[in-house]
Structure 1
Amino acid sequence: MLGCFIVTSMSDASKPLRRGWTTGACATAATRAALMALWGEGFPVKARITLPKGERPEFAISYQACGSDWAEAGIIKDAGDDPDVTHGAEIRAHVRASSGGVIFKAGAGVGTVTKAGLPIGVGEPAINPVPRDMMTAQVVEMAKRLGQSPDVEITISIPDGESIAAKTWNPRLGIVGGLSVLGTTGVVRPFSCAAWIASIHRGIDVARAEGLTHVSGCTGATSERTVQAHHKLPDAAMLDMGDFVGGMLKYLVKHPVDRVTIGGGIGKIAKLAQGEMDLHSKRGQVDLQFWADTLDLPALAHANTALEASQIAGAVFAQTVAQKALETVQARFLEAADGRKITYDIIVIDRAGAILASAS
């Protein structure tokens, strides 16, 4: 899984975190540059666009090509200090005259939507609504200024996008063939946890749209493989929860399914059992004194880790962890917003992927 961090304005005591630009903003700037060439103004050195909140950044043109009835321009994406897998990717826009308004196409490295539940319909290129609006606005504004017809086909491509997409959640969300063109503000702020939680939400939307009634959130790849095999769940049912159990469960209360399985290692699930809703090691630790008191085993208070506590206490530790984690979840998230009761179960696994305990 990708790393994640929470920041406000500083990455250390003195260095401000640098923001970046979304794939949607880059695609829009590339579209503007290509249109300038297509409609007689020539390729610019930089393209300036207006973002949804009024900001007007400039983007250096990294690639240009043209023919008698088409033009193409590229922008290198700068994600700033956000750990974004698309940082450094080139976003290209190929434009040509068409009919029937602005038409969007997926070029090489841009995915196509194959599952319901996303903002774009099945069969459409994975270019989200706000980037589409931004590019359309460029077409309309420039066509009016230059006396051109605003009927344009825009094909967005991302060289190596298909291989980069393998590092994202796109395959599970049913976006095949490459990356998505994303962004709502045009700006990437180094707050990647928010992006991760948003992806969990989209996974839930897709699962519900496919009619799935049982989904699972797991803390890592090993627990995910174990839980998926144990329950024989399809890929679309597996949510990339990571450490964000609270972000997943809060959304599921508002957008419920019948059954939710939470899987993870002994340490992560122990923190959930203690009431933690963010399981990252930087934001919460296993309280070994709590577990010593709970199991009436003073030796647990002197253990170094949950794994060592499990070795000291044996199977009873993992089983108690699973049961208390289940009670924690049920106490806060049992009843969905529509009044239905959600069924939960917990699976605790070891590092090899074997099931240590479960509670349901």
Structure 2
Amino acid sequence: MTSTARPGGPDPLDLLAVEELLTEEERMVQQTVRRFTADRIRPHLADWFEQGVFPARELAPELGRLGLLGMHLEGYGCAGAGAVAYGAACLELEAADSGLRSFVSVQGSLAMRAIHAFGSEEQKQRWLPGMAAGELIGCFGLTEPDFGSDPGNMRTTARRKGTDWVLSGAKMWITNGSIADVAVVWAQTEDGVRGFLVPRGAAGFTATDVHGKLSLRASVTSELHFDEVLLPGDAVLPGVSGLRGPLSCLNEARYGILWGTVGAARDCYQAALEYAKTRIQFGRPIAAFQLTQEKLVEMALELEKAHLTAWRIGRLKEAGRARAAHISFGKLNNVRAALEIARSARTVLGANGITTAYPVLRHANNLESVLTYEGTSEIHTLVLGEAITGESAYR
């Protein structure tokens, strides 16, 4: 990745040498994922994005062999990696494409994490080893067609029927939904919000893919429907009730995002820098013009600030000191920075920037989804506002 402008000078792609803050093991993880995406993913991304497909079934076992699925969880075939190592992996995954990082995040930080944190031992043994290996795929059903930022008013319900449960309702914008072997679904019950494990093929459970997307095209996005789905009593996650369960999983996914968006930003900046050094106008490379240099400098500044933010939050997380406000700080800042970098990079590339020959507009389109999923900018602003003032402004 290193691209030195002058011999002995700083790396233009990492001006503050943030990667030197990683341990040897963390750098090894990052380099392994970087090689994997270069060899296995990047050659196909333009076609996947244009066709609106993502070969999840094919890729999942390969991601499993690399130890990337549930890599920050302990036991059950999971790697038990530290928070920064997981973040560095997310950075490289999203440097390729947000859809790839989303698949890994949903599998590990949402579906697997819910089972790992709140499931029974039997549920963990049944699902987690296969999910860690990429043999089984999971999804996470919280958002509904009418309720995104306000999950407490979800309409999906589960009622008791003897020792069984009957699940009814719908979930929307569910990554991996139509290909999942198990869906972790959150529903209102007489005891509050509970999580349920709904296996693929359960009678009354259907998943329909969302088409016509202009963002996250190399990703499977679905709507889930539950028409009086009969589930056994042991389908419920016994370890949690209330919104604390799904929201804690969302914080895990948001943590991956605040690292992943650094990767998307770096990829856009790198594309713009390389293009500017080779694109000749008025007899000179456009990198020699002041306005282009200003754009590149602003990109480099925001990239390194976002990278340092991710690293610091990762170390806080490893020390057990990361709070929801820290995660909101990282997601709000880093997605915003990545979007601005993508948009500025597109202007450096001119008309070439709108084609799939370059990754910039693909990243920009993807980041429009990343901006709103796992908590909108408005929600994260209010989380931080409450942390700063002590006053809740949600209602």
If the TM-score is normalised by the length of the shorter chain, which range does it land in? under 0.3
Higher Cα Rg: structure 1 or 2?
1
Give the TM-score normalised by the residue count of structure 1.
0.25
